[in-house]
Copies of this chain bind each other. A is one copy, B any other.
Amino acid sequence: MSEPKDPAAPLADWLRARYGEAIPAVAAQNDTLRSMARHRTMRHYLDRPVDPALVRTLCAVALAAPSKSDLQQADIVIVEDAGQRAALAALLPDNPWARAAPAFLVFCGNNRRQRRVHELRGHGFANDHLDAFFNAAVEAGIVLGTFVAAAESLGLATCPISAIRNHADEVAKVLTLPPHVFPVAGLCVGWPSGFTAMTPRLPLAATIHTDRHDDTALDAHIAEYDARRDAEKPLRARRRDDLFGAHQPYTWSEDKARQYAQPERTGWGAFVRRIGFRLD
């Protein structure tokens, strides 16, 4: 089922369009939930600036999101300078929207403040293992997700750019990221130009579990999703037919398997260790 025409359509209609199944109707719903349910990544923007005060306000709203043990381990770099924008855009040739977006931000994990707190208070940091990196990464994700939800609720369009990590050393140099601070994702922000259809998602039986995790029906869920997605929002850009052949239909699972059949970000772990993290 395709998405409703009216942005104010009931939440259940948005969720049915997203997941291809009926969700039990609940009385509680509001504009926040409807906006989140309507989420879509948008890569085309009007030639109209986003007020810098609004960007900063959205950052402040996003940084109010939950913080693990109150450690506040996420940073946001707002990239405004044209030279800085160009230096980042040059690292993202496959993401031309990163150059074109009226506003561009980089969400970072920051475990440096915590380590400095230990130095200042004279208590040794006894947790120099995977958890330190993990907590900062997840927190940056929480702040990013909150920013996107906040921005979309105002009608803004966003596009996260994880390719920012494809060249983490260069990005860290451009943004002068110090040790123990790492980029998680860039984010394009602008006012949307044109219509972008909502992307269907896997059936909820694949992602929501009750009491125990159970994915015994995973193959069937993937097949159902491939078919539904191909019917509602077929993938147009094909990857590497030269290498893999012109498989038909060109499904989500075919596309994802082709994407990750080729190495990506193989230097990410080495970068993370180079900036000071132990991942034991």
> Interface residues, chain A, CB within 8 Å of chain B?
11, 15, 18-19, 23-26, 28-33, 35-39, 41, 51, 53-54, 56-72, 74-81, 84, 108, 110, 112-114, 116-118, 120-127, 129-131, 134-135, 137-146, 148-150, 153-154, 158, 160, 162, 165, 175-178, 181, 184-185, 199, 201-202, 204, 206-215, 218-219, 222, 244, 252-254, 256-266, 268-269, 272, 279-280
B residues in contact with A70, CB < 8 Å = 199, 252, 256
Bound-state CA distance A232–B29 (Å) is: 33
Bound-state CA distance A15–B61 (Å) is: 7
Which residue of B has the minimal Cβ distance to A77? B209
16 contacts between A and B (CB under 8 A): A19-B60, A26-B54, A36-B150, A37-B64, A41-B66, A65-B148, A70-B256, A108-B213, A113-B215, A116-B219, A117-B256, A123-B258, A127-B265, A141-B142, A175-B211, A176-B213
Contact assessment for A208 and B56 in the assembled complex, using a CB-CB cutoff below 8 Å: yes
CB distance from A226 to the nearest CB of B (A): 9
Bound-state CA distance A280–B150 (Å) is: 35
Contact assessment for A131 and B15 in the assembled complex, using a CB-CB cutoff below 8 Å: no
Contact assessment for B150 and A32 in the assembled complex, using a CB-CB cutoff below 8 Å: yes
Partner of A33, one of B76, B150, B218, B252: B150
8 residue pairs, one from A and one from B, having the closest CB atoms: A141-B141, A142-B145, A130-B269, A121-B257, A138-B141, A32-B153, A123-B261, A24-B53
Bound-state CA distance A75–B214 (Å) is: 11
